[in-house]
Amino acid sequence: MSDNVINLTCDLCSKSFKMGPILYQGKFLPTYGANICNRCYQGNTDGWAPHLENKIIAIAKSNGLAIPERNEVGLLPNGLS
Ligand SMILES: [Zn+2]
Q: 21, 4 in Cβ contact below 8 A?
A: yes
What does the pLDDT average to over 20-31?
Answer: 93
Annotated domain spans of the chain: 2-62
Mean pLDDT of 6-34: 95
Task: Give, in order, the Cα–Cα distances in Å from 78 to each of 5, 22, 27, 48, 60.
Answer: 24, 23, 11, 6, 12
State the distance from the centre of ligand 1 to the C-alpha of 60, rounded, in angstroms: 16
pTM of the model: 0.87
What is the whole-number distance in angstroms between the Cα of residue 33 and the centre of ligand 1?
14
Question: In the predicted model, is pLDDT for residue 15 greater than 80?
Answer: yes
**Ligand 1 geometric centre to CA of 6 (Å):** 16
pLDDT digits (tens, 9 = 90+) for 40-64: 999 999 999 999 999 999 999 999 9
- pLDDT for position 75: 97
Mean pLDDT over residues 9-36, rounded?
95
